[in-house]
Amino acid sequence: MSAKSYSSRDVELMRMAIDAAKQCTNVETAYNVGAVICSSDKTRVLSTGYSRQYPGNTHAEECALMSLPKNISLKDAVMYTTMEPCSQRLSGKLPCVARILESGRIAKVFVGVREPPNFVLQCTGMEELAKRGVHVVHVDELETECRLLNKHLN
């Protein structure tokens, strides 16, 4: 998870996830997160998502997966998310880590910032994904921008 493990294209796609997160409506009980899913060669954006895009307290990664075209047979897709995928949800809904793993389509996840302990004391999303064979990369140069998406919670 070093700074040298991502390219300028990865930064560009993470900025797209940041733009998606800016579509969120601020609420005091949830983060504003954006997500992008692209092809393994990073040439095609397949879907985007942002927190609360769909009814039912939906998370960005969940929305991006829901928006992923079903007719595309894709292996090794890449996800960009402004915040570490959740490993636990207080609502009892399926965590985003489980959704990513169950999709069987995501081979690599780029993360802008680790989940702060505002709602769940310790998120282990990055570790759980890595343990299950998903390559995880922290895009540290965009961490400040990703944190600012949730300044309403400070």
Q: Could you tell me the CATH number of the domain that includes residue 144?
A: 3.40.140.10
Q: Is pLDDT at 113 greater than 60 in this prediction?
A: yes
Assess whether 61 carries a catalytic annotation. yes
- Segment 116-144 shows an average pLDDT of 93
Name the residue with higher pLDDT: 75 or 56. 56
Question: Which of 151, 152, 146, 153 has the alpha carbon at shortest distance from 33?
Answer: 146
* Per-residue tokens: 67: 């928006």
Residues 139/34, Cβ–Cβ less than 8 Å: no
**How much is the pLDDT for 6?**
96
Structurally, the chain folds into a number of domains equal to: 1
**How much is the pLDDT for 53?**
97
Q: Is pLDDT at 1 greater than 70 in this prediction?
A: no
What is the value of pTM for the model shown?
0.94
Q: Is pLDDT at 76 greater than 60 in this prediction?
A: yes
Average model confidence (pLDDT) across the chain: 92
Calculate what percentage of the chain has a pLDDT beyond 90.
78
Domain that holds residue 22: 3-153
Among residues 12, 28, 61, 145, which one is catalytic? 61
Contacts with 111 (C-beta within 8 Å, 6 or more apart), sequence order: 81, 83, 84, 85, 126, 136, 137, 138, 139
**Within 10 A of 127 (CB to CB), how many other CB atoms are there?**
13
User: Can you give the length of the chain in residues?
Assistant: 154
**How much is the pLDDT for 2?**
43
**How much is the pLDDT for 3?**
44
Q: Is pLDDT at 33 greater than 90 in this prediction?
A: yes
**How much is the pLDDT for 94?**
95
**How much is the pLDDT for 4?**
65
Q: Tokens 């993470």 — which residue?
A: 14
Residues 83/99, Cβ–Cβ less than 8 Å: no
**How much is the pLDDT for 52?**
97
